[in-house]
């Protein structure tokens, strides 16, 4: 069994780090907003990321879609309700939008991450 290249593993670890930060921030905002329904969204996103790390193409594009939807939703929320949101929720929402953008861009543009996914799919086929 062949090991992925070191640079590919670094790209994967960078993705996982950004994702863990996003989940922590998202959980903190859910607690601050007392929006218990959002917990299901967090769990769904974690499940999709599991499949992304397994190298599933459909999951990668679903995650890009989720991140894009999160960015649009959060920016719209902040613009529409900025006077009614606390500074914590506004700042956290903007940080979450930035992290979601970074994750989506990393998923789409990182050649090393794509190499990791390709290696992962090859290993799964063997």
For the purposes of burial, counting CB atoms within 10 Å of the CB of 67, is it exposed (0-12), middle (13-18) or buried (19 or more)?
buried
Q: Look up the pTM and report it.
A: 0.87
Give mean pLDDT in consecutive 10-residue pieces for the chain, a chain of 126 residues: 77 96 92 85 94 94 96 93 85 94 96 91 70
Q: What is the pLDDT of residue 1?
A: 43
Q: What is the pLDDT of residue 38?
A: 85
Q: What is the pLDDT of residue 35?
A: 82
Q: 24: number of CA atoms within 13 Å, CB side?
A: 6
What single string gives the DSSP state of each residue in 32-58? HHT-TTHHHHHHHHHHHHHHHHTT-HH
Q: What is the pLDDT of residue 125?
A: 63
Distances (CA, A) of 104 to 60, 111, 113: 9, 13, 12
């Amino acid at each position: 069994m062949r090991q992925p290249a070191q640079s590919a593993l670094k790209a994967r670890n960078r993705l996982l780090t950004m994702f863990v930060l996003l989940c922590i921030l998202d959980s903190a905002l859910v607690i601050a907003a007392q929006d218990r329904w959002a917990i299901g969204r967090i769990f769904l996103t974690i499940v999709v990321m599991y499949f992304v790390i397994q190298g599933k193409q459909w999951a990668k594009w679903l995650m890009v879609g989720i991140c894009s939807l999160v960015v649009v939703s959060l920016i719209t929320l902040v613009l529409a309700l900025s006077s009614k949101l606390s500074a914590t929720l506004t700042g956290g929402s903007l940080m979450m939008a930035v992290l979601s953008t970074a994750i989506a861009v990393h998923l789409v543009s990182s050649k090393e991450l794509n190499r990791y996914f390709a290696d992962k799919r090859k290993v799964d086929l063997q």
